[in-house]
Amino acid sequence: MAISISHLGYKKLSRVIFEWQAADRASLLALFVLMEVFSHWLWCLFVWWQRDVYVSSVDMNLLYPSWIGVTLTGIFFFWMASRWSPLRKDGHSLHKWQAVLVAVYSIYIAVVILVMGHSSLVSGVSLVGGAMLAMMLIRRRYVWKAFLGHIVLIVVFTVFPYFGFVLPTLRQTATNANAFPVVTYTYMGYSAVTSVESNIYNSILQTSKLSWDALSQLRFSSAFFWRATHLYMALPKAIFIVYTFRTLLLILDASKKEILQHANQDELTQLQSRRYGLIQMKEALIAIKDQQDFSVILLDLDWFKEINDKYGHEVGDRVLAEVAQALLQSLDEETIISRYGGEEFLIVLPDTKHDSAMIIAEQLRLSIAKRVIMIQYDMAFSVTASFGVYTLAHDEHQRIKRLYEAKVRREEKNPFIKSQKAKSSMSKPNDSKTPIKQLPDDICQRLICAADKALYEAKDRGRNQVVSANEMCAAKEGVTTSLYGT
């Protein structure tokens, strides 16, 4: 895979992070470094081109070997970024060249910071931003070690002047041809040097307002030149890194949305998945208000296995999608609709009485039966479904809550159960926002189980019917039976 600047775009960057092989990501990092080195090379070219102007600000004797070093470094990273680079090899060779890449760049950027005059802006962007960018593309262990080594180099370069070591620097400060130079080979930091230079120029520029002549004079000052240099070294790199991480966050947000969609939505029918449907059902049960009933409909397509065997699974998938569309078109947005199993669908109707739920189920049965599945222009068929309906009345809901609360109080008084719960709570993170359970954990399964019994009764009665689990219980026992016993 050839590396090009076009890979910096949003869509390409997402592929880099999630799909590219390690060798390609390392090659892209070498390309980023090459871009930075080329910007340094252009700076050297500019200073050489304007050497008569900046001879008092830049040590020309050091500029030429520095320029040669930048050129050689650029050639090295160009070689690494090319398609014939050893980075494209697999195995230990790839890891070796990743380590070489970060080591060479760390040493190079430390030397650049040294010879350009230590600037906290350039150092901060290179140290933090560069490390974060590299961690996206190559092995984090190598980047972390290079990061620590970079810190050591900065500390060493900072304390060396205190021990009498003279470190090389391109910075040669003089306010003008007749002014005295500010010596920068001492332990004075960059901020201290610029403060001295600012005081010198305050004495030169007598008025508080800048005239064109004064501005022209300021343009040739060493302080202005080096401040502009450090901005040139740091700001483009900072903008690029921030843009990259902004793009990364957009990618992560999109990926999170996609992951949640796959986790919560059935891909074939576009309905809620079974797991997410049960979560929504449990939340709806907890949110029931006074005098509200709660209904559940479980439907199963009739003779679906025969459809798959006769027409193939592709046609079977079309049938499921058609039924899902029928459900979505017939029910409102507050209804919880999920694909419960292969050809089973779960419909949860909060604040819906039993008579209304039976009417809704009958309407759905007729709507599905009217659907015509076209296979070819001369071949079509229709499907039917069986329905089981159960309604949790408000009184029964309150009774379940009371029974469950009484059970919890008994367990709290039992010292053995209390100690076991204490051990379990110690192993879990403490979250004060976790709601107190008011219903049993299996309440949803019990409701669905009741509807499922009615569904099987509809199958036994010949299919394509709606059967009420509440009516079955009343006919069997003479009274409405509780989900948790009498």
Tens digit of pLDDT for each residue in 350-403? 989 999 999 999 999 999 998 888 877 767 888 999 999 999 988 888 888 788
Q: Are residues 120 and 207 in the same domain?
A: yes
pTM of the model: 0.56
What pLDDT is recorded for position 188?
A: 46
For residues 318 and 124, which has the higher predicted lDDT (pLDDT)? 318
Specify whether 29 is located in the same domain as 120: yes
**Last residue of one domain, picked from the residues 233, 260, 287:** 260
Q: Are residues 228 and 284 in the same domain?
A: no
Q: Report which of 388, 372, 362, 364 is spatially closest to residue 322, judged by C-alpha positions.
A: 372
Same-domain pairing of 174 and 68: yes
Residue 180, pLDDT score: 42
Name the β-bridge partners of 344.
300
Would residue 428 count as lying in a domain? Answer: no
Residues 414 and 447 in one domain: yes
Of 71-85, 98-112, 459-473, the range with the lowest mean pLDDT is: 71-85
CA distance 440 to 475: 27
Domain count, the chain: 2
Mean pLDDT for the chain overall:
77
Model pLDDT for residues 395-443, shown as the tens digit of each residue: 888 888 788 777 777 776 666 555 555 555 544 554 444 344 567 778 8
Quote the pLDDT of residue 38: 93
For residues 278 and 255, membership in a common domain is answered with: no
Q: Which pLDDT band holds residue 45 (cuts at 50, 70, 90)? A: very high
Choosing from 238, 260, 282, the residue where a domain stops is: 260
Whose CA is closest to 153, among 119, 99, 114, 206? 114
395 and 442, same structural domain? yes
What DSSP element (H or E) covers 382? strand 379-382
Residue 156 CA from chain centroid, whole number: 38
For the chain, the straight-line distance linking the first and the last C-alpha, in angstroms and rounded, comes to 71
Give the single-character DSSP code of 6. G
Note the pLDDT of residue 98. Answer: 83
pLDDT tens digits for 304-334? Answer: 988 888 888 888 898 999 899 989 988 988 8
248 lies in the same domain as 301? no
The more confidently predicted of residues 289 and 362 is 362
C-alpha distances (whole Å) from 273 to each of 67, 263, 278, 297, 387 are 62, 7, 9, 16, 19
Does residue 456 register a pLDDT over 80? Answer: yes
**Per-residue pLDDT at 348:** 94
Strand partners for 173: 182
User: What residue numbers bound the domain in which 33 lies?
Assistant: 5-260
Partner residues linked to 299 by β-bridges: 345, 387
> Hey, how many other C-beta atoms are within 10 angstroms of the C-beta on 341?
10
Q: CATH code at 382?
A: 3.30.70.270
